[in-house]
Chains A and B, each alone.
Chain A
């Protein structure tokens, strides 16, 4: 009896040494660095923080980041759901390959994503489209890197969704639009929202895919992460830290809203 309880404890907890090492690792990698950013952003007090984030260039960069990210996630919600639908409900040759390719933006280094998009949609584009150094290029790059989120969160839910509900609705005279609005979308909404929130968090912080394609023009194509990079390069660490905190809060706020929403919808903690 004594052995069992000891074993159960062991299986659950792990050793004190292991916990200690884990604590040190997480402190060195996440806890201390994030605290340092927070500390740096407020070294000069609230007024200094406010001065840094109300600098016109910073305001423009933050605003641009939030607006383009919002446009991108709405596009993701529509096309991501549509792609998930086609991958689950449709049958066509090569579907397995298409399904595998969805994860490409996660696997491809972000700088390569930028180079790749420039090769087709930049200067000398064989399609005659040149988005380089425009705001459209930000949206394009963000659409590329955030593509998998909504698809991958909607896919399993759609997979589990019972087709007989839709068939029943159809037999009762519901048209496809009604079935979509009343039967399918309500079941998919939590998954879509979760994909959208993750996309948004990623879009707000994205850097690698944007450096080459946007040209980083202040007040025009300079997003928040690029602004932070510029401030670090010009040794304005408090300014970089202040805008970092704003970007981080925007991402965390959306993720927190997601967790509250999913708790509210499903009635338990996810």
Chain B
């Protein structure tokens, strides 16, 4: 503080006594450097304690006795089932959200109709709702005592406590990503090329496939990566609608909780590490994609 004040005085007087600036400028530079290093230390220290150390710790704990126990843990029948069930749910929910996400983005960005703002709020709602509330909401509509409960039972359709309900829950919590990532790209793209294609006689489908989709593809892909990560890791909503039946409706995140609560730390850590590796792969994909989608934001 004092060094910069004297620096200011010195620079005010600069035209009269130019030489007096040199030492205070050096002091200024030193103070600035100290501040920068201090801030860097605080920021990196905070991240190390909150993010890096805990994640590194679980990798260490998982592999401290070698690969054999980890392999044994992940090849357990219930772990395998949970893994494949997670993939199954993701394989249905993510394509659904991708197609409808693009549709929502087109409607919100290109559509001019009343209630557009309302639709925008509606698709963002899953970000504001607790996953537990999502689970409850689905039970109240599709559960045994829910709005459609009788009709579903009469037609022999199981939703809650089975895979369709888990897909629904996963789709709800990961709904906004594709739309939210596609809208800005669609906005950027504009409608000139689409209109040109239309004047040249292209059908609606041709215009979409040849002009719009190639233009927004990186936004969509980025959205799909986020959707997949969220879908794969969803816990609260799936926990409620699945009933958590071991070896039947237990996804990988539910399996982690189950193992942990049954004091099978090795099993819990091994499954958690599998999910953490998938998360790290997601980060890598996000970073590779950022170059395509938002060059302005990329940190060099």
Contacts and interface: CB of A to CB of B under 8 A. Distances in A.
A92 interface: yes
A29 B169 CA distance: 8
A88 B299 contact: yes
Nearest to A99: B299
B283 A100 contact: yes
Residue in A119, A155, A174, A252 whose Cβ sees the most chain B Cβ within 10 Å: A119
A15 B111 CA distance: 11
Contact of A3 (B50, B123, B201, B284): B201
B147 A36 contact: yes
Interface residues of A, number: 102
B292 interface: no
A156 B297 contact: yes
B235 A111 contact: yes
Contact of B282 (A107, A170, A240, A247): A107
Interface of B: 1, 4-5, 8-9, 11-12, 32, 35-36, 39-40, 42-44, 46-47, 50-55, 57-58, 61, 96, 100, 103-104, 106-107, 110-112, 119, 122-123, 125-141, 145-147, 168, 171-172, 175, 191, 194-195, 197-199, 201-202, 204, 207, 212, 226, 229-230, 232-236, 239-240, 252-254, 256-257, 260-261, 268-269, 272, 275-276, 279-280, 282-284, 286-287, 296-297, 299
Interface in A174-201: 174-177, 198, 201
Nearest to A253: B128
B103 A119 contact: no
A63 to B, nearest CB: 16
Given A98-B47, A176-B4, A244-B130, A29 B236 contact: no
Interface in A60-101: 79, 82-83, 85-90, 92, 95-96, 98-101
A155 B132 contact: no
Contacts of B47: 83, 98, 101-102
20 contacts: A3-B199, A12-B111, A12-B112, A21-B100, A25-B100, A26-B100, A29-B168, A33-B141, A40-B140, A86-B39, A101-B47, A140-B50, A201-B128, A205-B131, A206-B130, A207-B235, A208-B236, A228-B130, A241-B140, A244-B137
A105 to B, nearest CB: 7
A168 interface: no
A36 B299 contact: no
A99 B47 CA distance: 11
A46 interface: no
Contacts of A159: 296-297
Summarize A's interface: helix, strand, loop or mixed: helix
A112 B135 CA distance: 20
B141 A36 contact: yes
Contacts of A226: 132
A173 B5 contact: yes
A102 B52 CA distance: 10
A147 interface: yes
B18 to A, nearest CB: 15
B235 A110 contact: yes
Residue in A11, A25, A96, A171 whose Cβ sees the most chain B Cβ within 10 Å: A11
Contact of B133 (A22, A109, A237, A244): A244
A11 to B, nearest CB: 4
A159 B297 CA distance: 8
Contact of A33 (B137, B197, B230): B137
B283 A103 contact: yes
Contacts of A105: 51
